[in-house]
Chains A and B, each alone.
Chain A
Amino acid sequence: MKRAHLILALIGIAVLILAPIGQKNYIIYVLCSWLMFSIAAMGLNLTLGYAGQVSLAQASFIGIGAYITSLLTLAGYHWVFGWLAAMGATFVIGLLLGYPALRVQHHFLAFVTLAFNTIVFLVLRNEEEITGGSFGLVGMPRPEFFGIKTMPQLNFYYFVLVLFVISAFVFWWIVHSPWGRAFKALRENPIRAESLGVDTRRITLLAFAIGSAFGGGAGAIMAPLVQFIEPGSFALIHSLKILLMVVVGGAGFFYGPMLGAAVVIILPEFLRFTEGYYLIIYAFLVIVLMVYSPSGLIGLGSKLMARFRPKQEVRKDMAKGAQL
């Protein structure tokens, strides 16, 4: 990690540690929600932003993770078992969902994942004996670690922050490893990648599996955060919301999903003073951003920084003259 990035990350963590101090429970809840959705968006960013595989099913993986964790914690198991089971199960299901991606791409793949999200929603709603159907599940306990209870909202926030930092580190590690390079190669030119020895089938499946496991991990946080889950929370609209987070933040950029989740979760809260107009203003801001900067907020930042930097020479071959 470059020194500047490390300093930026440490400043970010310090800000996140200080952010909830003195805030009311609702604000802390919104911050927890932002961190939780950031983890889910990191997963989609890996699948879509880095590996270029379209997925409209991330909410279903949050749902699977949330239901597994809820069922286990309600049965008396510690949350950690629920978390591990949620991530393991979503990894395997994500791997299976990746198989269609080996045959179909782009909008066809989008429809496959959209159909998967719908199937998961219907299973969660119809299998009442296990999932509670439309009434959902309630009363999931918040975990306790070494005698420290996470029931108080502030404690729970720091618990979520630790999980967020771990997830962000894992995400950073993956995208900066040779795997990350292979994911990008898959996105940019799969035929060339394959010709260089990249097993594009395996990498495609891994992109789905890992991205889905992040979704499952977010779901494991959602269960004790909200303490009530029902199928509607994991319907297609929520997958589109996570897609919006990734696109608005900047797909394929490390900080993209975190910024995107902030826009989708926190910005509407700031716009509440406009009362009935806040969704209109919010939607308008998103449209303007997408028109001006299709690469999201990170792309917008890069554009602005480029204005203050001296113009770079692109065609360096001219300087080398006949040598090239």
Chain B
Amino acid sequence: MTDTVLSIRNISKSFGGIHAVRDVSFDVQKGEVLGLIGPNGSGKSTLFNCVLGQLKPDTGEVRVNDQTVAGMRAAALNKLGVGRTFQQLSVFPQMSVLENIILAGQEHQGTMATRLFGPSDAGLTAEADQMIKFFRLEHLRDEMAGSLSYGQQKLVDAAMAFMAGPSLVLLDEPAGGVNLTMLANLKDRLRAYNREHGTTFVVIEHNMEFVMSLCTRIIVLAEGAIIAEGTPDEIRSNQQVIDAYLGG
């Protein structure tokens, strides 16, 4: 068993004549927080979708925990230990915060039959309460998720991604539209989770301050290919990255 949680090998994906991703390869190790940055249209989301099985790459292979994920449905990928958040708000608005968090873990409990005949909370209320406490959402526990503010819903979304104890979490623009106070809280919680559980993160983000302070390694994509890779400090001073993305 290696420490490689995510392995991407020679992934290419085209849409008609547009080469969205071109021969991209990299590994992500256990406990690592990898940032994936690049200008719009650089291929970040296409690469993300290839990892999540939503797009089939033209060439190459994606492996999670030593298993190939080609053609795997999102639910199966989740069972394999992959959690994710979405760019847009993705909570269940007509369920309470507690129910949202329980839902995020219930499919990992028992079988279909035990989920029908067993307890209505799938035995997860205590665990869900811990997750709610970890993300400092106790005062919102019984509120409908749809009635929360945007930033609060982002926190619920993040908490849901961690409920099943994943080994890899893909965070798609977690900072988008979140105010500074909540952003600091979100970053603090993500760091704490990574420190306490050793979970691997891959983060797509345009907020440079957020991504530079959260990630341990950063990969920069431009026109579908990797143009730089390194620590946040190395990326900040990389002339090619400055020219292509960060600017003067």
| Chain A residues positioned under 8 Å from B86 (CB to CB) | 191-192, 195
Near A by CB (< 8 A), chain B positions 102-128 give 102-104, 106-109, 112, 115-118, 120-122
Roughly how many angstroms separate A314 CA and B139 CA in the complex, as a whole number? 11
Chain A residues whose CB sits within 8 angstroms of the CB of B116 once the complex forms: 174, 177-179
- A182-B107, A197-B164, A315-B149 known; A192 vs B181 contact (CB < 8 Å): no
How many CB-defined contacts (below 8 Å) exist between A and B? 112
Query: Which residues of B sit under 8 angstroms from A196, Cβ to Cβ?
Result: 75, 78, 103-104, 107, 160, 163-164
**A199 on interface, CB distance cutoff 8 Å:** yes
Chain A: which residue is nearest B77 at the CB level? Answer: A195
CB of A82 to closest CB in B, whole Å = 26
- The residues of A that contact B115 with a CB separation of less than 8 Å are 177-179
Would you list which residues of chain B between 141 and 156 have a CB under 8 Å from chain A?
Answer: 143, 147-149, 151-152, 155
Kindly state the separation between the CA atoms of A186 and B112 in the bound complex, as whole angstroms: 16
How far is A316 from B148 in the complex, measured between Cα atoms in Å? 8
Note all chain B residues with C-beta closer than 8 A to A197. Answer: 75, 78-79, 107-108, 164
Contact yes or no, B99 A317, CB < 8 A = no
Q: Is the CB of A199 within 8 A of B136?
A: no
On chain A, the residues within 8 Å of B108 by CB distance are 197
Residue from the set B84, B102, B108, B181 with the largest chain A CB neighbour count within 10 Å: B181
Q: Does B164 contact A181, Cβ atoms closer than 8 Å?
A: no
Within 8 Å of chain A (Cβ to Cβ): is B60?
A: no
Cβ of A193 to closest chain B Cβ, rounded Å: 8
Are A324 and B106 also in contact (CB < 8 A) when A188-B93, A188-B95 are?
no
A241 in contact (CB, < 8 A): no
The residue in chain A whose Cβ has the minimal distance to the Cβ of B124 is A178
Interface residues of B in 41-98 (CB under 8 A from A): 52, 73-75, 77-79, 83-84, 86, 90-95
Measured between beta carbons, the chain A residues less than 8 angstroms from B117 are 177
Q: A181-B95, A181-B99 are in contact. Are A317 and B112 (CB under 8 A)?
A: no
Contact of B122 among A178, A200, A314 (CB under 8 A): A178
- Whole-angstrom distance from the CB of B113 to the nearest CB of chain A? 10
CA distance A155 to B120 in the complex (A): 35
Is A182 a contact partner of B103 (Cβ separation < 8 A)? Answer: yes
Give A195 to B148 CA distance when docked, in angstroms.
Answer: 22
CA distance A178 to B139 in the complex (A): 24
In the complex, chain A residues 176-215 whose Cβ is within 8 Å of any chain B Cβ? 176-182, 184-185, 188-189, 191-200, 202
Shortest Cβ gap from B158 to chain A (Å): 13
B92, B95, B121, B147: which has the most chain A beta carbons within 10 Å? B92
Residue pair B94, A184 in contact (C-beta under 8 Å): yes
Q: Do residues A320 and B139 form an inter-chain contact, with CB atoms below 8 A?
A: yes
Kindly list chain B residues whose C-beta atoms are within 8 Å of the C-beta of A252: 94
**Residue of A193, A195, A252, A315 with most chain B CB atoms under a 10 A cut-off:** A195
Tell me, in angstroms, the Cα distance from A195 to B161 when the chains sit together.
Answer: 9
Which of chain B's residues have a CB closer than 8 A to the CB of A193?
Answer: 92, 103
24 of the cross-chain contacts (CB-CB < 8 Å) are A177-B116, A178-B120, A178-B121, A179-B116, A182-B103, A182-B107, A189-B91, A191-B90, A192-B92, A195-B83, A195-B84, A197-B79, A197-B164, A198-B103, A199-B75, A202-B112, A252-B94, A314-B143, A316-B139, A317-B140, A317-B182, A324-B136, A324-B152, A324-B155
- What are the 9 closest A-B residue pairs judged by CB atoms, nearest first? A197-B107, A197-B78, A178-B115, A192-B90, A194-B74, A178-B106, A188-B92, A178-B122, A195-B74
Which of B's residues lie within 8 Å of A, judged by CB? 52, 73-75, 77-79, 83-84, 86, 90-95, 99, 102-104, 106-109, 112, 115-118, 120-122, 136, 139-140, 143, 147-149, 151-152, 155, 160, 163-164, 181-182, 185
Chain A residues with CB under 8 Å of chain B are 174, 176-182, 184-185, 188-189, 191-200, 202, 252, 314-317, 319-320, 322-324
